[in-house]
Amino acid sequence: MKHRFSRLSLAYGLICLAVLGIMVYCTTFLPSYTQLDNPAHRNVAEHYITQAKAETGSPNMVTAVLADYRGLDTLIETSVIFTAGVVTYALIAIRRRKNYIWGGDEDLESDD
């Protein structure tokens, strides 16, 4: 089935062009790209680069940051993955008892 572009699509296109214009204007405020005096490369990253081998013993700086300097973030990350697996299982593949009505009020009536 061919996709039909209606007049609403034109409005969406103009909104997206406006968003693109705002983003392009804002990128000119960014600090100098790939230059060595970028403030993002100065404070913490310089410490991680120079001290990773000495303090953690691993030459791979990304693993040292992820598992040693920011180890607590990786713990919560792993539990997020586990939660996604449990939610997918609970939505599709779980088994219900027979005659089970979710949120029904048969129980209330039988209590009387």
In the list 2, 7, 35, 39, the residue contacting another protein (rule: CB under 8 A) is: 35
Cα(23)–Cα(15) distance, integer angstroms: 12
Q: Using CB under 8 A, which of 59, 105, 107, 111 touches another protein? A: 59
Binding to another protein by residue 78, rule CB under 8 A?
Answer: yes
CB nearer to another protein: pick between 97 and 108? 97
Residue 101 interacts with another protein (CB under 8 A)?
no
Please state the closest distance from residue 1 (CB atom) to another protein, in A: 10
Would you say 24 or 111 has its CB closer to another protein? 24
Tokens of 106: 């048969």
Task: Find the binder of another protein among 2, 39, 90, 108 (CB under 8 A).
Answer: 90
- Rg of the chain in Å (alpha carbons): 27
Q: How far apart are CA 61 and CA 41, in angstroms?
A: 14
Q: Under the criterion CB under 8 A, does residue 10 sit at the interface with another protein?
A: no
Q: What angle do CA 34, 39, 45 make, to 5 degrees?
A: 85
CB atoms within 10 A of CB 65: 19
